[in-house]
Amino acid sequence: MAINRLPINYWLLTCAWVVASCSSHSTLPFYGIETIEGADTTFRELPDFSFLDQDGQPFTHETLKGKVYVADFFFVSCPTICPVMTKHLKEVYDKVGPEPNFLLVSHTIDPRHDTVEALRDYAERLGVSKDRWRFVWGHKDAVYHMGHSFYMASMQEDGSEGSGGYLHSGSFILVDAHGRIRGLYDGTQAREVPRLVADIHKLLR
């Protein structure tokens, strides 16, 4: 397995059930369907959580209500895919621009080292606004559970040389204003940025 990378097709095939959207304004699929009973479909729901953002302010499931957002998982000292993912997410940040109902949300998977102060410094070095991009700290068990159970993202500690201490998928996860996953994108690939930006605008419309 490549360090810090699990192919996104693997997760599409093994962790998600997909149905086409019936909405007239969007052709984006839904991911993470729990049950289908007749005409009723139940979607996997974001669990309650209580984390902190880069300013040490509460960041909870309530923060995301009514928001279209893109989530990812990273760690500040990552020597492999994280810098590439952050570069691509910064392109998304620049291309989408200020939108009151849109957020980027980056969860650290290394809360022991990525303190609130470290996350704030990271955001400042990127030159991004807290109103548009949150860097989020939470207890490891809660972050990993949410990543695995809702976002279908892989992450684990790893002691192999060159990994930085962790293996994790490079997915960007697009979530609509109702808390449903509507897109999965390989954050390590520049070609995914235009597609992600276009899909964000679809949901905002």
Q: 88-120: per-residue pLDDT in tens?
A: 999 999 999 999 999 999 999 999 999 999 999
Residue with tokens 């930085």: 164
Distances 23 to 27, 29, 42, 203 between C-alpha atoms, Å: 7, 10, 16, 11
Count of helices and strands (H, E) across the chain? 5, 11
Model-wide pTM > 0.75: yes
CATH of domain 8-204: 3.40.30.10
pLDDT digits (tens, 9 = 90+) for 18-57: 443 333 345 899 998 767 777 787 777 788 999 999 999 9
pLDDT digits (tens, 9 = 90+) for 124-181: 999 999 999 999 999 999 999 999 889 988 887 766 655 567 777 899 999 999 999 9
180 within 8 A of 70, measured Cβ to Cβ: no
